Amino acid sequence: IQEEERRMASVAARKEEERKRESHKQTLLKEKKRLTICNIARQWEIQQNRIALVASLNQDKDNEPCQINGSAAYVFPEESRSLDTILSSAVQGLSVLESHLVEVEGDTLCLYGAGALECLDRNWSVQTAGIIVTVSFMFIEFDEIVQALTKLKIKFPNSVHLKFKETNLMMLQQFNALAQMHRIEQLTVDPQGNPVVNFSLWKYYVLFRLNHFNLQKINGVKVTGNDIVMAERLFGILAYVASSELPHYRMLSLIGESRRKQFHYLLEGKGKKSGIGSEESSDNRSGGESTTRATLNYMTKDFHMEKLEEIKERKTFCQTYVENLVKEAADINMKNESLQKLWPQMFIELVRDAVIEIRNKNSYMKLCLQRITDQKQ
């Protein structure tokens, strides 16, 4: 009996040891995640020049959450700060922290830091990619997110909810970039790090520009029919003015061959109502993006700089080309003026030489015959 009790006690002790080891492992992973997020947040704050450099993240502060902009958004209440010797030594080994973090929590894909966008280049399993419904972006410049939206909609076709926090959403124009997604049912823009939410009409602009998505919720608030009507009243004329100011070839490049007839119908002014053509209403019925709204797009800073550089190069080329033409024209004009000045004297000399040459007919005839003979030889 004592042997059996010792064996059972040994098994129980071994299980308890394994449980503690697993608990330590989970706590270590949570601590590493906390430190990584804090490191990403610190790098973001330094990059944005909003706060001074904070103390090193390796310092372990008992019972004190990681403070970011005075908030305790990244606290893990279930974990204990009084770790045993094994955990403490393991945490000390986390001196090199990641600059980004990718995490899948249920049906939510959380991306922390710009480097996390590289995960969109990975080969995701069909099952994992299929369950992702919500994609959360944190501490990533919105312009960098825009460049990854095409990959996002391909990798995660079922994603319908986008969350933005600390992404530098500052202008209503930036929401235009979201129109390239397949579909969006919910949009969440956290006030933290996104000054655009300070605009009182930002939700109405989102509803207007992304009308073809039929958004259900914005920041957790259900969208009503009155909201959509108000959005159309506020910004409907904006899209019409933007489309009317574009050259025809630009409009045709936007709508393509299949929609040229609708475009001509819009130009003729048929079926206009509140600045919206019948072409737009037909697009809305079919669930597609309207042509007039498509003219409201967003250009990232990098792309804008490339365009400016391209325009600068073209301007330099045109200026050089015109300068060369002007110089060539000036040279021709100078030669012409010189010729006009010299021509009277040259004409007199030509006439004089001709008269002297033919004054003696016999000599002139012999000279001509000699020239003919020389040519035949």
**β-strand partners of 189:** 164
20 and 145 part of one domain: no
Domain boundary among 92, 115, 147: 92
Compute φ and ψ for 110, nearest 5 degrees. -105, 125
Three-state secondary structure call for residue 269: coil
**What is the number of domains present in the chain?**
3
Instruction: Give the C-alpha separation, 166 to 113, whole Å.
Output: 10
- The position carrying tokens 């996002």 is 152
81 and 126 part of one domain: no
CA atoms in the 13 A half-sphere facing the CB of 141: 10
270 and 203 part of one domain: yes
CATH number of the domain at 108, please.
Answer: 3.80.10
- pLDDT on residue 251: 67
Average pLDDT over all residues of the chain:
77
Instruction: Give the C-alpha separation, 31 to 75, whole Å.
Output: 10
The pLDDT of 305-334, averaged and rounded, is 88
226 and 280 part of one domain: yes
- pLDDT on residue 88: 45
Compute φ and ψ for 94, nearest 5 degrees. -90, 40
86 and 109 part of one domain: no
* Terminal-residue alpha carbon distance, the chain: 140
170 and 79 part of one domain: no
**Window from 8-17, 23-32, 241-250 with minimum mean pLDDT:** 241-250
CA nearest to 210, candidates 191, 172, 184, 237: 184
Domain boundary among 243, 275, 299: 299
CA atoms in the 13 A half-sphere facing the CB of 159: 25
Higher pLDDT, 266 or 94: 266
Instruction: Give the C-alpha separation, 115 to 146, whole Å.
Output: 14
Q: Which residues contact 285 (CB under 8 A, 6 or more apart)?
A: none
64 and 189 part of one domain: no
DSSP string, 284-316: HHHTPPPHHHHT-----HHHHHHHHHHHHHHHH
The pLDDT of 286-305, averaged and rounded, is 68
Length of the chain, please? 377
- pLDDT on residue 230: 94
The pLDDT of 333-338, averaged and rounded, is 92
- pLDDT on residue 253: 66
179 and 294 part of one domain: yes
Task: Please give the sequence-ordered ranges of beta strands (E in DSSP) within 197-355, or none if there are none.
Answer: 217-218, 221-222
* CB-CB neighbours of 206 under 10 Å: 23
Instruction: Give the C-alpha separation, 229 to 274, whole Å.
Output: 11
Q: Does residue 69 register a pLDDT over 50?
A: no
Three-state secondary structure call for residue 121: helix
Instruction: Give the C-alpha separation, 162 to 7, whole Å.
Output: 55
273 and 318 part of one domain: no
265 and 190 part of one domain: yes
- pLDDT on residue 258: 39
Q: Print the domain residue range for 109.
A: 101-299
The pLDDT of 228-247, averaged and rounded, is 84
115 and 176 part of one domain: yes
pTM: 0.60
Domain boundary among 269, 299, 329: 299
342 and 367 part of one domain: yes
Residues 227, 194 contacting (CB under 8 angstroms): no
